[in-house]
Amino acid sequence: MILLTTPTGQIGSRVLDSLLDSGDAAGPVRVIARDPARLSPRVRARVEAVPGSHADPDVAAKACAGVDRVFWLVPPTQVVDSLEGHFEDFTRPLVDAIESQGVERVVGVSTLGRGVAENAGHISVTLAMDDVIRATGVHHRALCPPYLMENLLRQVPSIRDGGVITMATRGDRVLRTCTTRDIGDTAARLLLDDSWTGQADVPVVGPDELTPQGMARIVSEVLERPVLFQETGPEDHKAALLRHGASEAAAQGLTDMVRALGAQGFYGAAAPSTPGTAPTGFRQWCEEVLRPAVLG
């Protein structure tokens, strides 16, 4: 049996759709959902839903009973008292379930930067989470994306009303990207494959070698209107996060992350593209996702 977390999230929902599209190949599928009513009728007819949070040890233990493969994702949030505590809350129940329920394989969403990233906020904590899971000896694949194209959806009002894309990074440095769709599809393929063993990273890096300025040019062309890139500093980035409701811990973690990205470059040109796991290009994504969001 396959267990999925975050079945209504951007990545989790794509994993779930891919599994259901595979028909009988997926076998029985179970999900942990805070609100099972948010699942589509198609999903509710095909899967078993365990209500609750996968940070709850009792919920995780119940959901992992009889499961051999797990898709595990720590849900993003901008309101936490402690970044480390948030990731630990969503990792310890999985570790306990692996040890007590006999889970054989775990596919998780991680990040590029292993062996390179230092003092990198969310990235450092994510990589540390992988180490905790791997210490159990479970067969593990960590999907490692760079910057998510979907992050730009948060800037739809700025793009639509002001013609501006803002990032806390240099506009003339390559910033590798990928889509949540490709992450989800790669996760589903791994969950359907019971032949892999051991522990390894799986980079998920799109085909483009674009700078933020280059991204803005493509957005301009797709939208047929001027869109410019505007760089902001880490402290201005943190102040904006706090104004929009982020907690101090979450805002500091994201600020440390963008500082590390700028100084250490592990989302940059040195990261090779991986067409087998991330075929979607930035222009295609803009045409299919960003353009309807801006014009709609």
156 inside domain: no
217 inside domain: no
42 inside domain: yes
pLDDT in tens, 220-271: 999 999 999 999 988 888 898 899 899 999 999 999 999 998 899 899 999 9
Q: What is the average per-residue pLDDT within 132-141?
A: 97
7 inside domain: yes
Do 121 and 254 meet the contact criterion of CB atoms below 8 Å apart?
yes
275 inside domain: no
Q: HSE of 294 in the Cβ direction (CA atoms, 13 Å)? A: 27
221 inside domain: no
291 inside domain: no
Q: What is the pLDDT of residue 86?
A: 92
- Give the count of domains, the chain: 1
pLDDT in tens, 168-187: 999 999 999 999 999 999 99
Q: What distance in Å separates the CA atoms of residue 129 and residue 94, rounded to the nearest whole number?
A: 11
**Closest residue by Cα to residue 88 from 129, 56, 140, 120:** 129
Q: What is the pLDDT of residue 147?
A: 96
Q: pLDDT class for 102, splitting at 50, 70, 90? A: confident
**What CATH code is carried by the domain that includes residue 119?**
3.40.50.720
pLDDT in tens, 68-77: 999 999 998 8
Q: What distance in Å separates the CA atoms of residue 273 and residue 267, rounded to the nearest whole number?
A: 11
- Cβ contacts of 287 within 8 Å, gap of 6 or more: 222
183 inside domain: yes
Mean of the per-residue pLDDT values of the chain: 95
Whole domain around residue 63: which residue ranges?
2-145+179-203
Q: What is the pTM of this model?
A: 0.95
pLDDT at 101 over 90: no
Q: What does residue 3 show for φ and ψ, rounded to 5 degrees?
A: -115, 135
